[in-house]
A and B are shown apart, each in its own frame.
Chain A
Amino acid sequence: SQTIHQWPATLVQPVGSPLSLECTVEGTSNPNLYWYRQAAGRGLQLLFYSVGIGQISSEVPQNLSASRPQDRQFILSSKKLLLSDSGFYLCAWSAQSLSNQPQHFGDGTRLSIL
């Protein structure tokens, strides 16, 4: 069966520090991959999605970036974190097909910027 792993679960970083959040998927190949951010008490905002290695689409301009160095690995990065980057970050995957496969989410990373 497919599983998605996301780490770390919690992260506290000072303003201006770099960021790297990692997400890996097991049990499937060539998935679509997504990074979402959820502000406190709010819905999910899509940040990046990827349909293949090295293919990244950005939905919201910001100081974050994403990379997909391997088929089942999706990384969210920042060179310098801002206070506004605080939030709950969720990675998700879905099957690349024409069927109505839903997105499956990781457990999330709670990022606090001090």
Chain B
Amino acid sequence: AQTVTQSQPEMSVQEAETVTLSCTYDTSENNYYLFWYKQPPSRQMILVIRQEAYKQQNATENRFSVNFQKAAKSFSLKISDSQLGDTAMYFCAFISSPFSSGSARQLTFGSGTQLTVLP
């Protein structure tokens, strides 16, 4: 079974600074996908960024980037130029690659990191 661990329950960062949220996972699979989701106080779950395990290049989406270390099974999220609107709970999630259609894709979530951006 896959597990996802987020060891930082809470973090804070000053506005405009950079912060890195850590995530490690455990799997015996070779092909899989990793995601970071953001859940602001409104509780809506929003996809931030995704990474395919077979791609060595780290994914980037504007101010959000990841450091994907497949051998170490690490998938950290870096937020540059932090903004007040980045305050949210951030969840790391893992899903294995399906080999046939018709199978549901089951996400395994970490326990989350509450990020607070300070003015």
Asked if A88 and B43 make an inter-chain contact with CB atoms under 8 angstroms apart, the answer reads: yes
- How many A-B contacts if CB must be within 8 Å? 60
Q: Is the CB of B110 within 8 A of A102?
A: no
The reply on A32 being an interface residue by CB < 8 A is yes
Residue in contact with A43 in the complex, picked from B43, B104, B105, B111, CB distance below 8 Å: B111
In the complex, A85 Cα to B102 Cα: how many Å? 30
Identify B50's interface contact among A46, A59, A97, A100, CB under 8 A: A100
Cβ–Cβ < 8 Å partners of A42 in chain B:
111-112
Chain A nearest CB, measured from B111 CB (Å): 4
A50 part of interface (Cβ distance < 8 Å): yes
7 A-B contact pairs sorted by A residue (CB < 8 Å): A43-B110, A44-B109, A59-B106, A98-B98, A100-B52, A107-B43, A110-B43
Q: What is the interface of chain A mostly: helix, strand, loop, or mixed?
A: strand
Contact A102 B44 (CB under 8 A): no
Number of interface residues of B (CB under 8 A): 25
Q: How long is the Cα–Cα vector from A48 to B33 in the complex, in angstroms?
A: 21
Chain A positions within 8 Å of B, measured between CB atoms, are 32, 34, 41-44, 46, 49-52, 57, 59, 88, 90, 92, 94, 96-98, 100-105, 107-108, 110
A46 pairs with B106, CB closer than 8 A: yes
- Give the distance in Å from the alpha carbon of A70 to the alpha carbon of B105 in the complex: 20
A44 and B91 form a contact (CB under 8 A) = yes
